[in-house]
Amino acid sequence: MGRLLIAIPVKTAPHYFERAKACEETWLKDCPCDYKFFSDADLGLTEINQHDNENDPIRTWRTKLMVTYAYENGYDYVFRVDSDAYVWVNRLLNCGFEQYDYMGWCLNAANQTDWCLNTAHGGVGFFLSRKAMKIVVDAPVEKYADGKYWGDLWAGQQLYKAGIHCHRDTRFLDGSSHTNHHGNIAAKELPLNHHYVSVHPVNPCPDNFYAMRDRFPLMSDETVPPKKQFGE
């Protein structure tokens, strides 16, 4: 399978460090693969205002520099995921990511002519192989099609230009992306037998992290991608 790094940005505001602590105490506890939190200070970045991403490119730089770290340190794959996602690591390691250069959840796998629909959402997490990492490492920091700096969508845009399309996997659930469920995913909303590998966002943090851990203590390794995601 090769070496995998789970890369998690820890942004500037104090509550991001609370999220990182909750991750370590829940889904990252006893994690069998390498993981690393990247603070803005670690990356040599200074946030102006990440929410003003027409002007502040920090979101793009975070992704580029985390991927650069993974590439330069010899990892075969990187899984970039936000600190307000909950991941079942046993499922992550068995989801088949090593078969693809770029894998995650995007809006539309069928329409391969529109790259805007085929960029993976970074909050819930996406995988890059070394081949894909090198493209991201070498890519210029520039705005996405909407005129804003987005780390995840920018990466997908650069990969699409290089002929690498996202393999869409519905086991990665972004609760902010569906018409009937636009927002945080509570542990009690998910069925006990769900097939998700990762869900996002799971605020309020840290309470919902611990609720996820307690509601789903033992999850099977093998999963089947759902035809429709929760909230569709």
47 in a domain, yes or no?
yes
- Within a domain: residue 175? no
What span, in angstroms and rounded, lies between the C-alpha atoms of 59 and 56?
8
- Domain contains 199: no
What pLDDT sits at residue 203? 85
Can you give the pLDDT of all 232 residues of the chain as single tens digits?
799 999 999 988 888 999 999 999 999 999 999 999 999 999 999 999 999 999 999 999 999 999 999 999 999 999 999 999 999 999 999 999 999 999 999 987 666 667 677 899 999 999 999 999 999 999 999 999 889 999 999 999 999 999 999 999 999 999 887 767 778 999 999 999 999 999 999 988 789 999 999 999 999 999 999 998 988 8
CA nearest neighbour of 107 among 96, 97, 115, 99: 115
The answer to whether residue 213 sits within a structural domain is no
Domain count, the chain: 1
Q: Is residue 190 situated within a structural domain?
A: no
Judge contact between 209 and 22, C-beta under 8 A: yes
Asked if residue 222 belongs to a domain, the reply is: no
Instruction: Tell me if the bond preceding 201 is cis, omega within 30° of 0.
Output: yes
Preceding peptide of 204 cis, ω within 30°: yes
What is the residue range of 40's domain?
Answer: 4-169
50/13 Cα distance (integer angstroms): 11
For residue 57, is the peptide bond before it cis, meaning its omega torsion is within 30 degrees of 0? no
pLDDT at 137: 98
Does 130 fall in a domain? Answer: yes
Q: What is the CATH number of the domain that holds 59?
A: 3.90.550.50
pLDDT value, residue 115: 67
* Helices and strands counted in the chain (H then E): 7, 9
218 is a domain residue: no
